[in-house]
Structure 1
Amino acid sequence: MTDRKSKMLQLALILATALAGALAARAMGWPIPFLLGSLVATAILSLTIFTRTGNPVFFPRSLRELFIAVIGTMIGTTFTPDVLSMLPTLAVTLCAMMGFVVLAQASNYTIFHHLGGYDRATSFYAAMPGGLIEAVEMGRKAGGDIETLSIQHFVRIVLVILIVPMLFLVVTGETVGSAANQSLEKGPSDWRDWALVAAIAPIGLGIGKVSRLPAAPLLGPLVLTAILQSAGAIDLGGPAALLNLAQLIVGASLGAQFAKTTPRRLLSALALGFVSVAVTLAIASGLALILRQFVPLSFQTLLISFAPGGVTEMSLIALSLGASPVLVSTHHLFRILFTVGVAGLLFKRLGNDPSDT
């Protein structure tokens, strides 16, 4: 069997496993099933089948980057002209978000570096209260452990989604629905929506790389779409099927990195993740309690806006509470942009510590 044929068969096995995991996760009612289900399934495949080889599992970087660009385009569609009517409130809450990001980053870095014993690059990017995809991409370029970063951010997403509803129940006595049947689509998508994504994603990817944006595959398309959408130049529906496919591909690419993971490392990541999420949500809850005295938003809406979960899932939870998904997604989009900006700036100043390599 040729090396190329072997790689293609390996990729086919990974993608088939990812699809099975995604469908199983959706059937079980998991949050973000196409991302988390594919990630878990391919991680298990890597742990049980590929881990003995000691070699990285084949997954084309170009395929991953293309679908990261699709996700960036989808996130950008949540930015609409409606945000302009919320500017007075956003002026206050987004300033608070900057403080939240700095506090969360510093607290989590201390947890991962001093309690977890991770090297500086891995600790720094594991500490990001931002998305799984951009943290792993930036961490990889900085020399961090991509496997550890993937695990820690996966744990963060799962724990935030599980803990936030329980926090509402304890603090407010209200139960948050899963909103499993909700969607970010504005209406039925047609071929024009698919064509717009097909055009914007690669163009944004190219712009991101040429302009040397951090996490360029994500931020290039995201910023381009946000500008076009908020200016009213486009009205992209965001095809749900394409978003699901993109999450499946990205989840599979991350799960494929688990070939060298052991159950012991997974348990360690879960323990550290619980400490990190507990501290981060404590900061978010404190800010939400303070801010509700100054802005016309409920504690629930503020906490969902600050909780460092996925943009899609937090927006779905917002829908289940009757909160504005535009407002919530705007906060998460700003959190991602500000977190990535701060991470790029601060790590350049910190530099690499030879003692940690």
Structure 2
Amino acid sequence: MMAARFVLLIRTAGILAVGGIGGSLAHWIGLPMPYLTGSLAFVAAFTIFRTRKGAREVPFPPLLRMTFVAVIGTMIGATFTTDLLAVVPSLGLSMMAMVLFVVIALAGNYALFRKLGRYDRTTAFFAAMPGGLVEAVSLGEQAGGDVRVLSVQHFARIVLVVMIVPLLFLLWTGETVGSASGQSFEQDAYRTVDIFLILVLAAAGMVLGPRLRLPAAHMVGPLVLSAVAHVSGLVDLSSPAWLLNLAQLVVGSGLGSTFAGSTGRQLIRAFSLGAASTVLMLALGIGFAMTLAEFMLVPVDALFISFAPGGVTEMGLIALSLGVSPVVVACHHLFRIFMTVLVAGAIARRTRRQASAVQGGSGDSIDR
């Protein structure tokens, strides 16, 4: 028993080492969310190579990944401050439009992945989510979707959006934006107690989330608990960058380890579908931005950044480069993620109830 645990520990350390190399290289190149995307890509490639050579699949401890998913949820919740909430009333129209954007993007992507990708219903639905990679994969995994497909689809979305949006602004304005322009977010100095409180909120959220039957409970539980604690003024945390990087490294490595048995053809198809999905959502975002700009005092470029389905950090950096309030952009993106999880979670629960009813009546699942 002890020997088996020691072997698992060594193998897990090896996976994290590969992920660390990938994350460091991605950081050096300047990729979006480098420690998540880099570790995912490197560990996925390593896992595929090993299994093709006949080696056994190396399992990644699910509790370890879920723990750091909870840490990420806590740190996202920490961004819900009173300053952020103060701007919400002035953005009521665009927030309502964001709900419509999420529903249309979800429906369009779902049709794309079902008709062209021929994914099963569950995988197609969660691959279609215009939300965060971690949130979508967590929800999809909980519902029985293909984690490998979900990981690569959302990986493709994030990378393509963050590559295309700065290019569009370069062609439009002739200036580089985002990380390429050297912009970065300054972080307040954190205290040791901040790390302790992040871990406490994460642990408490992991316990409360499942009991409250929240979707993606290990992610959403800590997120909601942290958001409530910050908005109410109970805590005011400064999240250390290294902890976020570590959490992304662990989660990315865990997702990459699920790629055992994947083929090059499957990955090429997933990236092709991801490109089509990205173009669809960006076109939708441009349409919403141009329409809303006619009725709001917010510039069209700020609205487009707010509706682009990329990472919160990179979209915020682009806003910073253009002189647009990163708080406004972050508010939209956090609301998009929240609405995506809310809508997807509600539909997933309804689908599971229908599937149970069908199975009880005829033995057939609607997810096939």
- Interval of TM-score (by shorter of Structure 1 and Structure 2): over 0.9
* Alignment of structure 1 residues 26-45 onto 2, 5 Å: 26-45=27-46
Is contact 1:168-1:174 (8 Å) kept? Answer: yes
Partner of 1:313: 314
User: Residue type matched to 1:354 in 2?
Assistant: S
Are positions 1:239 and 2:240 aligned together?
Answer: yes
Deviations 1:96-149, CA, capped at 9 Å, x for gaps? 000000000000000000011111000000000011111111111222111111
- Alignment TM-score, normalising by the size of structure 1: 0.94
| Structure 2 residue runs without a partner (length 5+) | 356-363
Equivalent position of 1:329 in the other structure? 330
The 1-side partners of 2:115 and 2:321 are apart by 38
Identity %: 50
Q: Distance in 2 between matches of 1:260 and 1:268?
A: 15
Structure-2 residue corresponding to 1:294: 295
Deviates more, 1:48-57 or 1:117-126: 48-57
Runs of 4+ in 1 over 6 A off after TM superposition: none
CA separation of 1:73 and 1:181: change in aligned 2, threshold 3 A: farther
Q: Is 1:160 the counterpart of 2:171 in the alignment?
A: no
Give the distance between the partners of 1:328 and 1:27, measured in 2 at CA.
26
**Which residues of structure 1 form unaligned runs of 5+?**
none
Q: Distance in 2 between matches of 1:310 and 1:177?
A: 12
Aligned match of 1:354 = 365
Structure 1 residues 164-208: Cα deviation after superposition (integer angstroms, max 9, x where no partner): 112223445543232676555541112122122122111122111
Q: Decide which moves more: 238-247 or 340-349.
A: 340-349
Q: Does 1:25 align with 2:36?
A: no
User: Quick one: structure 1 residues 51 and 305, their matched pair in 2 at CA, closer, same or farther if it must change by over 3 Å?
Assistant: farther
SS in 2 for 1:323: coil
Answer yes or no: is the 8 Å Cα contact 1:104–1:127 preserved in 2.
yes
User: Which residue of structure 2 aligns with residue 258 of structure 1?
Assistant: 259
Structure 2 equivalent of residue 222 of structure 1: 223
- The residue aligned with 2:60 is 59
Name the structure 2 match of 1:178: 179
Distance 1:250 1:51, change over 3 A: farther
| C-alpha RMSD of matched pairs (Å) | 2.0
Aligned residue pairs total: 357
TM-superposition CA deviations, 1:148-175 (whole Å, max 9, x none) = 1111011111011011112223445543
C-alpha displacement of 1:276: 0.5
Shift in alpha-carbon separation, 1:14–1:193, aligned structure 2, 3 A: same
Q: Structure 1: which amino acid aligns with 2:128?
A: A
Q: Distance in 2 between matches of 1:334 and 1:264?
A: 35
Contact 1:20–1:38 (CA<8 Å) still a contact in 2? yes
Q: Which amino acid aligns with 2:167?
A: M
When normalised by structure 2's length, the TM-score is: 0.91
CA distance in 2, matches of 1:231, 1:36: 33
Q: CA contact under 8 A between 2:289 and 2:304: conserved in structure 1?
A: yes
Stretch moving more, 153-162 or 173-182: 173-182
3-state SS of paired residue (1:238)? coil
Q: Sort the Cα spacing of 1:344 and 1:70 in 2 relative to 1 into closer, same or farther, 3 A.
A: same
Aligned partner of 1:69 in structure 2 is 70
Q: Which amino acid aligns with 1:309?
A: G
Output the CA distance in 1 between the equivalents of 2:89 and 2:296: 9
1:205 aligns with 2:216: no
